[in-house]
Amino acid sequence: MSGLLFFSFPTGGVHVVQMLTEVFHSLKSGKLKSPQWCHRIFPIQETCVLSETELHATVSKLFLDFFRNKEDQDEPIKFAVGYSRRGIDETVNKTQKNDNNSSIQQGLMDRQQCFKVVAAAVKSVAKDAIVDLKSPEVAVLVEVLPISGVPVGSSVAGVSVLPAELVSAKPRLCVKALVSDTKTKKK
């Protein structure tokens, strides 16, 4: 069984990246037991309408916050971009079968368009930033959220700018699992 739960916290309340960092440290030190039912926590820092303008503004803001916290860096910062439309494509395909309307699919941002918008936003903050898919210092993750009640054709994206220690680049860019695969295979 798999699923996605979305928890929303008041603005200025919980810092989700810091919280996830503390969870990983607690798991590593043994202060916390490995979770049985939760495989991964995706710390969404901001949500926005999935449009070029909104996504660019959101990524720029979050990347600037991340970049400010980096100490003086002589080297260009290495980044990677991840884009997931979990559950959205299936919903669109069902809707298209029922409605014979392909405008819904056209309303969703494709991967290349997302990568271009995010890269432009990153470079607007850090002009020398370079893409490094194998060992990024920072990952910008964009997740289209399958939220009920959102009008068909509109999409909401969750955006996160995460340090390298919270992400895995192989086999694809994503937030690290809370439990390693070797532990889950032993059960």
Residue-wise DSSP of 3-47? --------TTS--HHHHHHHHHHHHHHTSSPPPSS--------EE
Is the pTM of the predicted complex or chain greater than 0.75?
Answer: yes
Residues 6+ apart with CB under 8 A from 81: 114, 115, 118, 119, 131, 139, 140, 141, 142, 173
pLDDT of residue 91: 52
Pinpoint the alpha helices (H) of the chain: 16-29, 52-69, 88-99, 103-107, 111-125, 181-186
Out of 62-76, 87-101, 112-126, 131-145, pick the least confident: 87-101
- Please check whether residue 118 is in contact with residue 57, taking contact to mean a CB–CB distance below 8 angstroms: no
Is 70 exceeded by the pLDDT of residue 88? no
pLDDT of residue 184: 45
- Please check whether residue 16 is in contact with residue 45, taking contact to mean a CB–CB distance below 8 angstroms: yes
The matching CATH number, chosen from 3.30.465.10, 3.30.2300.10, 3.10.20.30, 3.40.50.720, for 43-176 is 3.30.2300.10
What is the per-residue pLDDT across 133-152, written as a single tens digit (0 to 9) for each? 999 999 999 998 877 777 76
Would you call the peptide bond into 76 cis, given omega within 30 degrees of 0 as the criterion? no
